[in-house]
Amino acid sequence: MSRIAEEARDDPELLRAAPHKTPVRRLDEVRAARQLVLSDNSA
């Protein structure tokens, strides 16, 4: 927590742009909503 507080004081833009390493899965939300994948691959 102290490291985050230090970063907030030194470079507040760094925290505003967080998270930095989150996986991006559905870039096109409209396309994803229109072209649904309705399959059950649990078998």
Q: Which of 38, 13, 37 is nearest to 25 (CA)?
A: 37
**42: pLDDT confidence band, cut at 50, 70 and 90?**
low
Per-position DSSP letters for 1-43, written without gaps between them: -HHHHHHHHH-HHHHHT--SSPPP--S-HHHHHHS--------
Distance, in Å, from the CA atom of 31 to the CA atom of 34, rounded to the nearest integer, reads 5
Q: Find the Cα–Cα–Cα–Cα dihedral 27, 33, 36, 41, rounded to 10°.
A: 60
Query: Is the pLDDT assigned to residue 40 strictly greater than 80?
Result: no
Residue 38 pLDDT grade (very low, low, confident, very high; cuts 50, 70, 90)? confident
